[in-house]
Amino acid sequence: MNMIPTNEIDLVKASSSKINDVDFNNLQFGRIFTDHMLVCNYKDGKWQKPQIMPYQPMTLEPSARVLHYGQAIFEGMKAYKDDDGKIFMFRPDQNFARLNKSATRLAMPEFPKNYFINGLETLITLENEWIKPGKGNSLYLRPFIVATEPAIAASPAEEYSFMIICSPAKAYYTDPVRVLFAEKYSRSADGGVGYAKAAGNYAAQFYPTRLAQEKGFQQIIWTDASSHDYLEEAGTMNIFFRIGNKLITAPNNDRILDGVTRKSIIQIAEDLGIDCEVRRVSVSEIKAAAKDGSLKEVFGAGTAAVVSPISAFSHAEEVFEISGSEDSYASIFKDHLLNIQHNISEDKHGWRHKVC
CA distances to 12, 84, 183 from 59, in Å: 18, 40, 41
**pLDDT tens-digit series, residues 225-264:** 999 999 999 978 999 999 999 999 999 999 999 999 999 9
Question: Where does the pLDDT of residue 174 fall: very low under 50, low under 70, confident under 90, or very high at 90 and above?
Answer: low
Q: Alpha-carbon distance 166 to 87, whole Å?
A: 15
Residues 279-289 have a mean pLDDT of 98
Residue 6 predicted with pLDDT over 70: no
Residue 246 has a CB neighbour count (10 Å cut-off) of: 13
Residue 121 predicted with pLDDT over 60: yes
Residue 96 predicted with pLDDT over 90: yes
Q: Alpha-carbon distance 61 to 160, whole Å?
A: 13
CA distances to 93, 204, 205 from 89, in Å: 10, 30, 29
Residue 130 predicted with pLDDT over 60: yes
Predicted pLDDT of residue 284 = 98
Cβ contact 37:159 at 8 Å? no
Residues 271-282 have a mean pLDDT of 97
Average pLDDT, the chain: 94
Residues 221-226 have a mean pLDDT of 95
Residues 194-217 have a mean pLDDT of 95
Cβ contact 197:260 at 8 Å? no
Cβ contact 72:147 at 8 Å? yes
All domains of the chain, ordered by start, with CATH?
10-169 (3.30.470.10), 177-341 (3.20.10.10)
Residues 18-34 have a mean pLDDT of 95
Predicted pLDDT of residue 324 = 76
**pLDDT tens-digit series, residues 318-344:** 999 998 777 899 999 999 999 999 999
Predicted pLDDT of residue 175 = 79
Cβ contact 242:297 at 8 Å? yes
CB neighbour list of residue 129: distance below 8 Å, 6 or more residues apart: 1, 17, 19
DSSP states of 239-277 as a string? EEEEETTEEEEPPP-TTS---HHHHHHHHHHHHHT--EE
Cross-strand partners of 246: 243
Residues 27-53 have a mean pLDDT of 97
CB neighbour list of residue 178: distance below 8 Å, 6 or more residues apart: 216, 217, 218, 310, 311, 312, 313, 314
**pLDDT tens-digit series, residues 58-67:** 999 999 999 9
- Side-chain half-sphere of 117: how many Cα atoms within 13 Å? 15
Question: Where does the pLDDT of residue 88 fall: very low under 50, low under 70, confident under 90, or very high at 90 and above?
Answer: very high
**pLDDT tens-digit series, residues 153-163:** 999 999 999 99
Q: Pick from 258, 252, 239, 232: which is nearest to 91 by CA?
A: 258
